[in-house]
Structure 1
Amino acid sequence: MIKSFQLAHGALQQVGRLDAEVMLFCNPDAAERDLLLDDFKLDEHALASALDPDEVSRIEFHPDNLFLIWKRPENYCGQASFTFEVSSCGLLFCQERLLVISTDAAQLSGVGARQPLHSPLDVLLDLLFNNIHHYLGHLKVIKLVARELQQKFNASMENQHLVQMFNLSESLIYYINAIHSNGAVLTRLRNHAEKQHFSADAIALIDDLIIENNQCYKQAEIYSTVFAGLIDARGNLMNNSTNGLLRKLTLINVVFLPLNLIASIGGMSEFSMMTSGIPWWLAYPAFLVAMGLTGGLVILALKRMAPQTSSLSQAG
C-alpha cells in the first residue's frame, strides 16, 4: 500500500500522485517493490532490511540521499503475556523527498502535531521525535503494569504473574538494544548535518533528539535493573512460601505417623492368629522389641554407608 503526502500550510496532506514530497510504503507488494528499486534507486538489501524486524539500526550516506534503518516500538494492544515488541522501518531521505518503508500504516500519524512542517527534513526529524516519545510512553505503561503485577503476585503467588514479569523484563532488554542503536544513528546524523550545513534549527532539533534518546535509554536501563532484582526477589519469595507449605505438610505427617503405627499394630489379625498360643502381653511387647532392633540395625547400616558415600563423592 502506498500513501502520498504533500507539504502545505505546515502539515501533511494526502494526495494521489506518486511524485509527492513524502511517501509511505506499507508492506509493499511486488509492483511497489519494483517501483522502489527502479524509480527510487533503492537496492534489494536496503529494502529487505527496512522490512526485517530484527535488523539493527544504521545509517548509510550516498551522494544524493541517505538511508536510515530505525528501530521503532510496535503498538501495544494489552495482551495477557504483557510483551512489548520492536520492529524496523526504512527512511530514504533527500532534500526534496522522504520515503518511509514500514509494516505499520500509521507510521506517519501524529507527525506535524508538535511543530509546523516545511520540508521533508522536518518530517524526518518529527517522525524520529515521535518514535522516541513512543518509547517513553511504553516505559510508563511498563512501570504501571509492573506495579499491578506486583500486587497480584503478593495476593496469589501464581506462576503466571512471575512469567508475565519475565516477559516485561525481556521486552525491556529489546528496548534497550533498540534505543541504543538508534542513538548511534542520531550521532552519525548529527555529524552529517554539520558537514552538509543543515540549518541551525535542524541541528538543534537533532541535538534535542540525542538528549531525549539518551534519557529514554537511561530510563529503560534503570527499569531493567529494577526488574531483574524484583524477579529474583519474587522467585526467592515463592521458594520460601513453597518451603513453608512443605514444612507444614511434614508436621502433619509426623503427627499422624505414630497414630498410623498404633492403628496398624492393633489391627494385625494375622499376627494375633500366629501367636494365639502365646499370651498377648508377651507377643506384642516381643514384636515391638523386634521392630526397635530392626530400626537400630538400619540406622547402623546407614551410618556405615554414609562415610563411604562421602569419600566416593570427594574422589569423583
Structure 2
Amino acid sequence: MLRMFSTVNGQIEQIDKPESGSWLALSDPTDVELTTVSQETGVDLADLRAPLDDEERSRVDVEDDYTMIIVDIPTVGERAGRNWYETIPLSIIVTKTLIITVCMQDTPVLHPFMEGTIRGFNTFMRSRFILQILYRNATMYLRYLRIIDGETDKLELRLRHSMQNREILMLLELSKTLVYFNTSLKSNEIVMEKLTTLSRIKQYPEDEDLLDDVITENKQAIEMANIYSGVLANMTDAFSSVVSNNLSNVMRIFTIISITLSIPTLIFSMYGMNFQQGMLGMPFTDSRWGFLVIIVLAIALSLAVLWFLTRSRLFK
C-alpha cells in the first residue's frame, strides 16, 4: 500500500501525487508501487526492497542522492491463539525533497503520524521526523516490554499449581522474544550513534532535547529487556523444578493408594484359590462370620499400611 502525506497549514493531509516536502509511506508494497516510487524519486529499487526482508540488519547507508536508515521495530501478531511479539525492519529514506518509509507491515509505529496526533510533526522537517519516528519506536518497545512483564506475572500464578509443560513453553517463547528485542534495540542504538555524527542529516539546536530523549528511551528499553530476560531465565529454571515437584507429589499419592489397595487385593486373591478337600484350608472358611472377619481384617491392615506410609519419610 502506498500512501502520501504532506503538512498543509499545520495539518497532515493525504495527497495523490508526491511533492516537495511530502512523505511517502509504503507498507506491504506491491512490485508496481515499488517500481513507481523508484522511478519518481530516483531511489534504487534494491534499497526500497531491503526492509521487506525480515532478516535485514539495522544500518545507515549513504548514497549520492539519498540516505537510507534501517531500524528494527516491534510488532505483534497472533500464533496459536496468543499474541506473538517479534521485530521487523523499517526503512527511512531521506532524499533532497522527500522522506520515504518502507515496511513489510502496516505498523502502528507510523499510525500517529498519519493521523496527525504527534505534536510538532511536520513532513517538511525531515531531520525531526526521523527522530520522532525513532522516539515513537523506542516507546513502542517499552510498551510491549511492559505487556510481556504482565504476561509473565500471569504465568507465574498459573505455574504455582501446574503439572504441564505448556506454561514452561510459553515462558520460553517470551524469553526468546526478549532476546530478539534486546538484539534489535542494541542495533538501533548503533544506528542512533551514527546519526549523531552523520553530516548528511542536519542537526538543529531545537532538536537536541528530542535526540537526548530518543537515546534515553532506547537505553531504558535495553535495560528493561536485560532485566526481564534475567528474570524469565530464573523463572524458567525455578518453575521447571516446581512442575517436577508437583508431579512427584501426585505420584506419591498414587503410590500410597496403590500400595494400600494391594493389601485387600492380596487377601481376597488368596481366598479365591481352590483347595482340595483334606488339605489345610484357609482360616475362617468354616466360620459363619468368616467373610465379615476377612473384610474387617483387610480394612484394618489397609488402614495400618496407609497410616505407616503417610508418616514415612520416604513419602514426604
Scaled by the length of structure 1, what TM-score is found?
0.79
Structure 2 vs 1, CA of residues 206 and 255 (structure 1 numbering), >3 Å: closer, same or farther? same
> Does 2:256 match 1:255?
no
| 1:190 aligned partner | 196
SS in structure 2 of the partner of residue 89 of structure 1: strand
Structure 2 vs 1, CA of residues 65 and 26 (structure 1 numbering), >3 Å: closer, same or farther? same
Structure 2 vs 1, CA of residues 137 and 173 (structure 1 numbering), >3 Å: closer, same or farther? same
| 1:313 aligned partner | none
- 1:181 pairs with 172, 187, 192, which one? 187
Question: 1:257-314 CA distances to partner (integer Å, 9 max, x unpaired)?
Answer: 2332222222112xx13xx4533379xxxxxxxxxxxxxxxxxxxxxxxxxxxxxxxx
- 2:243 pairs with 238, 243, 258, which one? 238
| 2:31 aligned partner | 30
Q: 1 or 2, which has the higher helix percentage? A: 1
| 2:103 aligned partner | 102
- 1:221 pairs with 226, 234, 246, which one? 226
| 1:264 aligned partner | 269
| Cα distance between partner residues in 2 of 1:207 and 1:159 | 44
Deviation of 1:203 (Å):
4.5
Structure 1: tracts of 5 or more residues without a match:
283-316
Instruction: Please tell me the residue identity of whatever aligns with 2:229.
Output: S
| Cα distance between partner residues in 2 of 1:116 and 1:37 | 25
Structure 2 vs 1, CA of residues 77 and 12 (structure 1 numbering), >3 Å: closer, same or farther? farther
User: Does the Cα contact within 8 Å between 2:131 and 2:211 map onto a contact in 1?
Assistant: yes
| 2:70 aligned partner | 69
| Cα distance between partner residues in 1 of 2:131 and 2:39 | 26
Deviation of 1:41 (Å):
3.2
| 1:91 aligned partner | 92
| Cα distance between partner residues in 2 of 1:246 and 1:184 | 53
Over the residues paired in the alignment, what is the CA RMSD in angstroms? 2.5
| 2:136 aligned partner | 130
**Segment of structure 1 superposing worse, 121-130 or 111-120:** 111-120
| Cα distance between partner residues in 2 of 1:136 and 1:114 | 20
- 1:144 pairs with 147, 150, 157, which one? 150
Structure 2 vs 1, CA of residues 156 and 196 (structure 1 numbering), >3 Å: closer, same or farther? closer
| Cα distance between partner residues in 2 of 1:77 and 1:136 | 20
Structure 2 vs 1, CA of residues 279 and 143 (structure 1 numbering), >3 Å: closer, same or farther? closer
Deviation of 1:132 (Å):
0.9
User: Does the Cα contact within 8 Å between 1:2 and 1:28 map onto a contact in 2?
Assistant: yes
User: Does the Cα contact within 8 Å between 1:4 and 1:14 map onto a contact in 2?
Assistant: yes
| 2:217 aligned partner | 212
Instruction: Please tell me the residue identity of whatever aligns with 1:240.
Output: N
SS in structure 2 of the partner of residue 25 of structure 1: strand
Question: 1:91-122 CA distances to partner (integer Å, 9 max, x unpaired)?
Answer: 11134210011133355321361334251222
Scaled by the length of structure 2, what TM-score is found?
0.79
SS in structure 2 of the partner of residue 152 of structure 1: helix
| Cα distance between partner residues in 2 of 1:226 and 1:139 | 13
Give every structure 1 segment of 4 or more consecutive aligned residues whose post-TM-superposition deviation is greater than 4 Å.
75-79, 155-158
User: Does the Cα contact within 8 Å between 2:78 and 2:84 map onto a contact in 1?
Assistant: no
Deviation of 1:197 (Å):
5.1
Instruction: Please tell me the residue identity of whatever aligns with 1:62.
Output: E
| Cα distance between partner residues in 1 of 2:263 and 2:57 | 67
User: Does the Cα contact within 8 Å between 1:129 and 1:209 map onto a contact in 2?
Assistant: yes
Q: How many residues align?
A: 277
